Amino acid sequence: MILALLKRRLWLWQNRLIPSLILLLAMPVILFALVNLPLKNIMGHSLSGVPFELWVIPGFIFVISSVGLFPLLYRDFFDLRVHQKVLVHVALAPYRKRMLIGGYLIVAGIEAMILSLISLVIFSGLAPFPLTAIDTLFMMVCLAVYLLLLGNYFISMGLLIDTVTTFFLITFITFIFILFGNGFIIEFGFFPAGIENFLRWQPLSIPYQAFQLFIRSGIIDWALLFSSLLLGLLWMLGNTTILKRKLRH
């Protein structure tokens, strides 16, 4: 099933190659020009003493990966579902629903990770890349955990929301939150204490916090990573239950 989904995504990329390439190349450049260049002149270092580019460039990678994760999950769990084009085929597929959810998460995650690696190369061409090889490897581990959580969130949205207007409104709010509320660009210390505590402990921010702790101190907080991974797996089981209920109606 995973191979079939990968082939379908490759076919879709081939049929929209030029627009996809333009978007892929433009996103890192736009983020770098409109966020990194002006803000690094204002904030040379984060509140924790980390150089601004060491803080924000990995955050850009997480943001771009979030965008790359969205299309497949939106298309199959919302767009095709509300137009009654996919759930019948899903119901007839010879796979357990848990395997279907897991397969979609893996394929969407692979696509997002590839986009993140391409963006990493582009950022390296725009400025000296601030991470070592070990830092980059650990960043990809944290990114994979983050994508597991975000992918489950997108699937839940796609299965639970039935109106286009509501879906796109929540999607817009979600990406605003991803951009400014996960510590990718704006450090939590800039927020009032109550908002800071909420943002710091909401699940989507935890993998990036684990990564920032590592580049600041070299310490890996396994508790943060494993708790996030466990939440992602439990969330996947929850989405499996939601999918089964949708298929009964």
Buried b / exposed e along 154-176 (16+ C-beta atoms within 10 A): bbbbbbebeeeeebeeebeebee
DSSP state of 204: G
User: Which pLDDT band holds residue 227 (cuts at 50, 70, 90)?
Assistant: very high
pLDDT surpassing 60 at residue 88: no
Q: Which domain holds residue 155?
A: 16-39+50-248
Predicted confidence (pLDDT) per residue in 161-217, tens digit: 888 899 999 999 999 999 888 888 888 888 888 888 899 889 999 999 999 999 888
User: What is d(CA 184, CA 232) in angstroms, rounded to the nearest whole number?
Assistant: 20
Q: How far from 79 is each of 23, 35, 149, 159, 246, CA to CA, in Å? A: 21, 32, 21, 10, 15
User: Which pLDDT band holds residue 94 (cuts at 50, 70, 90)?
Assistant: low
Residue 129, pLDDT score: 79
Q: What is the mean pLDDT of residues 132-142?
A: 92
For 50, list phi and psi in degrees, rounded to 5.
-80, 135
Question: Considering the domain boundaries, does residue 226 fall inside one?
Answer: yes
Predicted confidence (pLDDT) per residue in 143-168, tens digit: 999 999 999 999 999 999 888 899 99
Measuring CA to CA, which residue among 71, 183, 182, 65 is closest to residue 117? 65
User: Which pLDDT band holds residue 91 (cuts at 50, 70, 90)?
Assistant: low
Question: Considering the domain boundaries, does residue 11 fall inside one?
Answer: no
User: Which pLDDT band holds residue 45 (cuts at 50, 70, 90)?
Assistant: low
Average pLDDT taken over every residue of the chain: 84
Predicted confidence (pLDDT) per residue in 233-248, tens digit: 999 999 999 988 877 7
DSSP state of 21: H
Question: Considering the domain boundaries, does residue 6 fall inside one?
Answer: no
Q: How far from 242 is each of 95, 97, 132, 249, CA to CA, in Å? A: 16, 10, 42, 11
Q: What is the mean pLDDT of residues 6-10?
A: 70
Residue 153, pLDDT score: 96
Question: Considering the domain boundaries, does residue 130 fall inside one?
Answer: yes
Question: Considering the domain boundaries, does residue 3 fall inside one?
Answer: no
Residue 172, pLDDT score: 94
- Are the C-beta atoms of residues 52 and 39 closer than 8 Å to each other? yes
User: What is d(CA 107, CA 3) in angstroms, rounded to the nearest whole number?
Assistant: 9
**Neighbouring residues of 91: CB distance < 8 A, sequence distance ≥ 6:** 247
Percent of the chain predicted with pLDDT > 90: 36
Total domains present in the chain:
1
**Neighbouring residues of 45: CB distance < 8 A, sequence distance ≥ 6:** 51, 52
Q: Which two tokens stand for residue 243?
A: 């999918």
Question: Considering the domain boundaries, does residue 215 fall inside one?
Answer: yes
Question: Considering the domain boundaries, does residue 166 fall inside one?
Answer: yes
Residue 18, pLDDT score: 75
Question: Considering the domain boundaries, does residue 205 fall inside one?
Answer: yes
CB atoms within 10 A of CB 193: 9
Comparing 9 with 114, the larger pLDDT belongs to: 114
Check: pTM over 0.85? Answer yes or no. yes
Measuring CA to CA, which residue among 111, 143, 150, 123 is closest to residue 31? 123
